[in-house]
Structure 1
């Protein structure tokens, strides 16, 4: 069998929008992805539905896969003729061990490419309002590993060279060795009052910063219980932060939002929330199969309710294939969410939300499942959706590393499927959301949420993206 190909890809520092075009293209063609802990898991949603996902994440106290095993897997999967992506946080050439992986592939004459990514040592400071170089403050910049292969894990560095020759220093993953770093920089001539800042989860909406000097930052870190993943930045250029800090001033910065999802495609709502500075975790992740449907009697109904935007396209495709004149459909159209309404508008149809649907008249519910709680209705199931099992452990890891403070239900149909998805992960919805603001988009959604026993914080004035953002800005995080 002809060997496949391996792409060693930098995922960037965390914000999914910071991946390169070439990196995203690699993910979209992958048959196997080996991904690290610091590569944002949301990037995996761009992979093909049948792509095999292998977690290689490492923590200081444990390794899911050791580097030798990762090298072997890359070789094995490529020799099976597959397109393999090795997805690494930041840039693969900056403490990413890409040289070792590339050497293993070269040994077996396996074709490979290395796709650079934005390094965390540059991106995290910028998201904290700090350029690593500046004509008045810093003309040189260095990235330094804060732990190495020495017996005690203390970095064996040219401390004198760093102090004398570098204005701004970025130490990677060095919180445990911070006292050692500060002591050596001071001992080799760096002033004790040199500014230091730690940036944790840089470029995420959960980004945290802690500022001090070489003389006091270690104590502050202990008091604040600061931990990795963090970039430690040392240098006078940190003084610019007060003037040009921008990310932390975004309207939804600090919001860590869990968004219930009913569709398998990209979410415009999630994108809009992230553009305002929020972290967004979407759940569940779906896989869909289009079903053959019989639409011969669709002209007989007074009302047609579409439970998802995808069901709109699937319905009209079936109608056209059946040769039915759309003008003969006399029903009024309704949508379970504003996204469904917009999908109908794009096809030239005016529609109303389910809240405005009268009880009188015959009703056809068009959608991807039968869980929509509507009385006295016929159902037309246009597709079958099932949970993507590969994403359940990914979701659990995302929850472990986040501190969710906001829950958004965009539609009534999202409530039950969200709860059922949590059960598959062994997570109790009431425990998960006990200290979380639960926000509903629309009165019908609010009723569905309260029906299952959850307490709601409220809802925006209208079930739109803009209204939701305005509502979250006005309501403080609990």
Structure 2
């Protein structure tokens, strides 16, 4: 028998997943997940894990609950470790208790990994503390959607109406008129503040505050649908004062990030912290070289060179991997002058204990050439560890300046095999506001996966952001021009321009 872990995934913000939950996801043999569990969590699964979706959305059940129970038991009986991932907390309207009972009956070991429930987290992200001593000392979690097969309702509307507790209704947006009516009919003040929070803690979060007698009409006017929680009580009056999440400058803005996955984490994280809905679509994959013998020969001959020029973080990464492979370290670079084409590459070198001798003011090959000319590159022997295929401006211009240049491929870039269909769907549904490019190759590969002709239909609705003029020039070859382009050719500058543009 395997062990089943009933895991609470939290309300949606991937940062709210617990450390223990992630540890289980990283080691489980089978991952069974729900509609409300953020799909980003699937990336934590080990490569050979079996991943099964059993979500329920608005009454559309991929699998009914009894079949989900059978599936969990079946997989556990195969002797495998099962991560049962559920939105929120498994024991707060997550039917985790029912699944646990089935596991006990089947004689299968299980553990519960609690998660942060939406009734607390979504409220907090909307600026509503569910308890506050100026308003209430208790909170009551209530289902807004009872089991329709029950003979008698479990609700005691008279108690709810007279309670001083904050009332938090889950899964109740369809029944909002009935909920408001029953509370008022049983004595709750019609002027009681009420808030709805939709997609709480996610980049698509929306919320508003109304009063008990008007909230149903307001929700209908604003188009609020599931998944939403309903909060009833005086604490809702703090929504505007304490709200913080919906003030994020890029909240809800859909941004496609086309950088290689190895490089994209910083950009993805920064945009996410600003509230953007980031759609990762790596158009490039970074791959090692098939043969590293030329790299090893060059490393062993470093004493013959005057300058070592790195043009990317990946160049640093793969060069150092080969240093380590042959039992060497940074000490072999003693006597060499070292240049980095930009601040990110310079930081990668500093992490290796190397302070670059030269970083240009303009972070493109042309800027490097200009600066190195001033440093007297003429007659010097230069080694450039870089991608197998890259722009030839730097080596060509250095050679024109009288340098002896050797290009050393230490990795190669290839067209990613990512499925473009999710991005197509997001474009069609209007979820995308920006398409970002950070190199010429991201442009070329994007239009390999989604043709320029196809993308033209979104020209008026999706803005294109380019990191610099070289990337913009490549974009122009496909018939487009950038809407957003920073003066400094760096990721932080690109993000600043996106923030400024989204505020317009």
Question: 1:379: how far off?
Answer: 7.0
Match of 1:117 in 2: 115
Match of 2:3 in 1: 5
Q: How does 1:100-115 map to 2 (within 5 A)?
A: 100-115=98-113
Match of 2:219 in 1: 221
Match of 2:442 in 1: 414
- From 257, 266, 269, give the equivalent of 1:268: 266
Match of 2:14 in 1: 16
Shift of the 231–393 alpha-carbon distance from structure 1 to 2, 3 Å rule, reads farther
Shift of the 82–248 alpha-carbon distance from structure 1 to 2, 3 Å rule, reads same
Tell me how far apart the structure 1 counterparts of residues 461 and 150 of structure 2 sit (CA, whole Å): 41
SS of alignment partner, residue 261 of structure 2: coil
SS of alignment partner, residue 202 of structure 2: coil
Note if contact 1:305-1:365 (Cα within 8 Å) is conserved in structure 2: yes
* 1:280 aligned onto 2:284: no
Shift of the 150–287 alpha-carbon distance from structure 1 to 2, 3 Å rule, reads farther
* 1:440 aligned onto 2:466: yes
Question: 1:464: how far off?
Answer: 3.8
Match of 2:42 in 1: 44
Greater CA drift, 86-95 or 447-456 = 447-456
Question: 1:27: how far off?
Answer: 2.0
The CA deviation string for residues 272-331 of structure 1, in whole angstroms up to 9 with x for no partner, is 222233332322399877555231246589875555x34522222224434678439979
Note if contact 1:363-1:378 (Cα within 8 Å) is conserved in structure 2: yes
Greater CA drift, 249-258 or 181-190 = 249-258
* 1:380 aligned onto 2:409: yes
Tell me how far apart the structure 1 counterparts of residues 137 and 149 of structure 2 sit (CA, whole Å): 34
Greater CA drift, 406-415 or 285-294 = 285-294
Note if contact 2:283-2:445 (Cα within 8 Å) is conserved in structure 1: no
Note if contact 1:288-1:386 (Cα within 8 Å) is conserved in structure 2: no
* 1:318 aligned onto 2:317: no
Shift of the 256–264 alpha-carbon distance from structure 1 to 2, 3 Å rule, reads same
SS of alignment partner, residue 73 of structure 2: helix
Match of 2:484 in 1: 458
Q: How does 1:46-65 map to 2 (within 5 A)?
A: 46-65=44-63
The TM-score normalised by the length of structure 1 is 0.84
Note if contact 1:8-1:85 (Cα within 8 Å) is conserved in structure 2: yes
Tell me how far apart the structure 2 counterparts of residues 151 and 402 of structure 1 sit (CA, whole Å): 39
Match of 2:125 in 1: 127
Shift of the 303–141 alpha-carbon distance from structure 1 to 2, 3 Å rule, reads same
Tell me how far apart the structure 2 counterparts of residues 173 and 402 of structure 1 sit (CA, whole Å): 26
Note if contact 1:147-1:154 (Cα within 8 Å) is conserved in structure 2: no
Question: 1:77: how far off?
Answer: 2.8
Tell me how far apart the structure 1 counterparts of residues 335 and 72 of structure 2 sit (CA, whole Å): 55
SS of alignment partner, residue 479 of structure 2: coil
Note if contact 1:33-1:54 (Cα within 8 Å) is conserved in structure 2: yes
SS of alignment partner, residue 66 of structure 2: helix
Q: How does 1:231-380 map to 2 (within 5 A)?
A: 231-264=229-262, 267-284=265-282, 290=288, 291-294=290-293, 295=295, 296-297=297-298, 306=311, 309-322=313-326, 326-327=332-333, 339-347=344-352, 348=354, 350=356, 353-355=363-365, 356-358=367-369, 366-367=386-387, 370=389, 372=390, 374=392, 380=409
Note if contact 1:75-1:110 (Cα within 8 Å) is conserved in structure 2: yes
Match of 1:449 in 2: 475
Q: Which runs of 5+ in 1 are unaligned?
A: none
The CA deviation string for residues 27-61 of structure 1, in whole angstroms up to 9 with x for no partner, is 22233222222222222223333333222222114
Tell me how far apart the structure 2 counterparts of residues 269 and 153 of structure 1 sit (CA, whole Å): 53
The TM-score normalised by the length of structure 2 is 0.80
Tell me how far apart the structure 1 counterparts of residues 166 and 253 of structure 2 sit (CA, whole Å): 31
Tell me how far apart the structure 2 counterparts of residues 466 and 198 of structure 1 sit (CA, whole Å): 35
Match of 1:207 in 2: 205
Shift of the 399–45 alpha-carbon distance from structure 1 to 2, 3 Å rule, reads farther
Highest Rg: 1 or 2? 2
Shift of the 265–465 alpha-carbon distance from structure 1 to 2, 3 Å rule, reads closer
Match of 2:155 in 1: 157
SS of alignment partner, residue 267 of structure 1: helix
The CA deviation string for residues 178-220 of structure 1, in whole angstroms up to 9 with x for no partner, is 1111111111111222211111111123211132122222212
Tell me how far apart the structure 2 counterparts of residues 170 and 56 of structure 1 sit (CA, whole Å): 26
Question: 1:148: how far off?
Answer: 2.2
Shift of the 320–25 alpha-carbon distance from structure 1 to 2, 3 Å rule, reads closer
Note if contact 2:253-2:277 (Cα within 8 Å) is conserved in structure 1: yes
Note if contact 2:309-2:338 (Cα within 8 Å) is conserved in structure 1: yes
Question: 1:341: how far off?
Answer: 4.2
SS of alignment partner, residue 502 of structure 2: coil
Note if contact 1:163-1:188 (Cα within 8 Å) is conserved in structure 2: yes
Match of 1:71 in 2: 69
SS of alignment partner, residue 471 of structure 2: helix
Tell me how far apart the structure 1 counterparts of residues 423 and 82 of structure 2 sit (CA, whole Å): 22
SS of alignment partner, residue 403 of structure 1: coil
Note if contact 1:30-1:83 (Cα within 8 Å) is conserved in structure 2: yes
CA RMSD of aligned residues (A): 3.8
